[in-house]
Structure 1
Amino acid sequence: MLLISISLFLATLFLAYSNGANDNFKGVATLFGSGTTSYQTAILWATFTTSAGAIASILLVSKLIKNFSGRGIVPDAITNTSEFHLAVAIAAGLTVLIASLTGFPISTTHSLTGALIGPGLVAIGLKVNFTALGNSFFLPLLLSPIIAISLAAGVYSLSNYINSRWRLPANPRIVDTCHFISAGVISFARGFNDTPKIVSLILIIEYFSIQGGMITIAIAIALGGLLNSQKIAETMSTKITSMNKTQGLSANVVTGVLVIAATQFGLPVSTTYVSIGSIFGVGLIAKKANKRVFYQILVSWLLTLPIATIISGIIYRLLQG
């Protein structure tokens, strides 16, 4: 039992590290892509604000922890085992890290969703509660990028209209300050939203409190972002679309508002889908969006869930002996 507990703890840290590598730069991608700041400054700002969000999430975590514990999707007799949590952590971590190393910004939320399904399919087959999955996971995950694209396109179009109609004087310092604040808000919200999902995997270990788990996971997320964000930075900052400062700020405002709203309602939306949707939305209006890259990212999103499901199912089966 002690060996399984230690393995689960290490696997959850691995997932948190992978999450940081794939997700930490997403909030600051427009800062770097628009030339507002350097990569080093952007990732340091992301690390600080994401960690602040992770620590703040200690106060309001119950709903997301319940959603990502697996309860309601598969029977408690399965979700209460360390083998279940270990399979989920390893499968989700592998899926996210592979995507990070290949430059595909995928959703940790979606990876965890797939990883929750795998052991359930092995244990009880098609008796997995797919209705709960549809209501709690798939619907917000599918709708969030569509809403983000539409809102970002609208916000950027509105800002262009206002500037052209009234010819407001440009103030680069104010724009840059607002841009940094919006990036910080997104990163804070992501840390606030993602940390409880990962912490839920180790709460079965009796030695861990929610608070202790939060702090440990926050450190691992920060390290992942600092050490392995380069590929994701390249994809999100330059490959989806080229952008100026106004476009970057418009995308960030939409992302921040949507993620914070989803967090308050306990909806496990993906910051990835929202941020990429927002960046692509402003790129469409500016006629600079790289649709080929966007379609490749869409394919990676479609593959995320089945890959995580297969890996977690195999691992769970092996752990059963």
Structure 2
Amino acid sequence: MTIAILFIMVCFLAYANGANDNFKGVATLFGSGTVNYRLALGWATITTLAGSICALFLAGTLIVKFSGKGLAPDTLIQSVPFMIAVAGGAGLTVILATRHGFPISTTHALLGAMVGSSLLATLGDMSLTPLLKNFVLPLLLSPVIALMLAALLYQTTRFVAQHFVTIKPLCLCVEETLPPVLSGTVAAMTADSSLSFTIDHQENCNQRSATLLFGFNTQRLVDSLHFCSAGAVCFARGLNDTPKIAALLLLAPGFSMQSTIGTIAVAMMLGGLLSAKRVAETMSHKITVINHYQGLSANLITAFLVIFASKLGMPVSTTHVSVGSLFGIGLTTGQSDKGVMASIALSWLLTLPCAALCAAVIYAISSHF
């Protein structure tokens, strides 16, 4: 019975994670008008699912860390009531934030739930050193680093775009040039024609009636890179978040790595497809006004930091990194909504105590069964 409850709670947490997190990688695509909501959501779903599957091979260290080892006694973290409390407390916190459109961190919620249930179960006898080293420092530093790197990358790309890149359509023109023809008493002299190749703006080629051999648009190139970078963020999020949730089931009997990862991936996918609208609106339109170049810069930084952290086993929050990147862009352009940012920051501060309280209550109830 308790194993079934644990399975339901973990699936609920995965669903809540998908609802709150799945759209974060593609928020810049939707916010900048590069694609519509449905296309952005579909791209997020596909790439997040790919990241979840790759977690089988690339993120084993996160599974160990989020099993709770070192944070609480082994006898406690291997008990089903403890895992039920962690999954339930984190899931309730994330789904509540999703309901109000706040992009919070599932990593942060899991941490709070672990702390709350551990404090109640051990009556305050828990180690704080691994808590600070393995969890708190990465969570605090990641949004700051993302903010600075995103601002720096955007300034760099804007400089390059202004001085070296044109957004007008370009083309490779092919023209046939004929030699001069002599007329009169002397027979006309002709020679073979030759071809000339020039790169010019498309409208100039059209005016010369040249043949358009190959046209390309730098804006389309930026949009393509932006689209790929959004997929990379979603992939990184699936890679980073799936093992954290999987750790709650893998200590229970009867669950293999493959089946656990597959179940969580499906639950996350459903959460993103069915319940992501409010967080999508906050991330895409309320934090800051963004264009194509800004969205590309934010996504590249987010994807890099999250994939790098996953490889090292550092439990950073995709939410903190992606929001930090957007806020860094907004500060650079002066278009960020500081009121919205203050509300999001407050939700981050409330995540840990809310998850801790929910988990403690659930542990108190589940430990009696």
TM-score range, shorter-chain basis?
over 0.9
Q: Distance in 2 between matches of 1:59 and 1:263?
A: 11
Partner of residue 159 from structure 1, selected from 150, 157, 160: 157
Matched, 1:299 2:346: yes
Which protein is richer in strand relative to its size?
Answer: 2
- Based on CA coordinates, which of the two structures has the bigger radius of gyration? 2
Gaps of 5+ in 1: none
Partner of residue 240 from structure 1, selected from 281, 287, 293: 287
Q: Identify the residue that residue 127 of structure 1 maps to in structure 2.
A: 125
Matched, 1:88 2:135: no
Matched, 1:6 2:4: yes
C-alpha contact (below 8 Å) 2:59/2:310 kept by paired residues: no
TM-score in terms of structure 2 length: 0.85
AA at the equivalent of 2:55: S
Q: Identify the residue that residue 46 of structure 1 maps to in structure 2.
A: 44
- 1:165, distance to aligned residue in structure 2 (A): 2.8
Q: Distance in 2 between matches of 1:167 and 1:226?
A: 37
Q: What do the CA deviations read for 1:173-227 (whole angstroms, capped 9, x no partner)? A: 1111101110111100110110011011111332210111000100000000000
Which protein is richer in helix relative to its size?
Answer: 1
AA at the equivalent of 1:61: A
- 1:167, distance to aligned residue in structure 2 (A): 4.6
Provide the secondary structure at the position in 1 that maps to 2:237.
helix
Q: What do the CA deviations read for 1:259-290 (whole angstroms, capped 9, x no partner)? A: 11111111000000000011111111111000
Q: Identify the residue that residue 281 of structure 1 maps to in structure 2.
A: 328
Q: Identify the residue that residue 58 of structure 1 maps to in structure 2.
A: 56
AA at the equivalent of 1:54: S
Q: Distance in 1 between matches of 2:281 and 2:304?
A: 24
Correspondences of 1:109-258 after superposition (within 5 Å): 109-169=107-167, 171-258=218-305
* C-alpha RMSD of the superposition: 1.0
Q: Distance in 2 between matches of 1:256 and 1:306?
A: 28
Q: What do the CA deviations read for 1:228-275 (whole angstroms, capped 9, x no partner)? A: 000001100000011111111111111111111111111000000000
Matched, 1:308 2:355: yes
AA at the equivalent of 1:260: I
Q: Distance in 2 between matches of 1:200 and 1:100?
A: 23
- The total of aligned residue pairs comes to 319
- 1:61, distance to aligned residue in structure 2 (A): 3.2
Provide the secondary structure at the position in 1 that maps to 2:23.
helix
- 1:314, distance to aligned residue in structure 2 (A): 1.2
Provide the secondary structure at the position in 2 that maps to 1:289.
coil
Name whichever of 252-261 and 19-28 sits farther off: 252-261
Provide the secondary structure at the position in 1 that maps to 2:123.
helix
Q: What do the CA deviations read for 1:125-165 (whole angstroms, capped 9, x no partner)? A: 33211111100001010001111111111111111222223
AA at the equivalent of 1:284: L
Q: Identify the residue that residue 16 of structure 1 maps to in structure 2.
A: 14
Moved over 6 A (4+): none
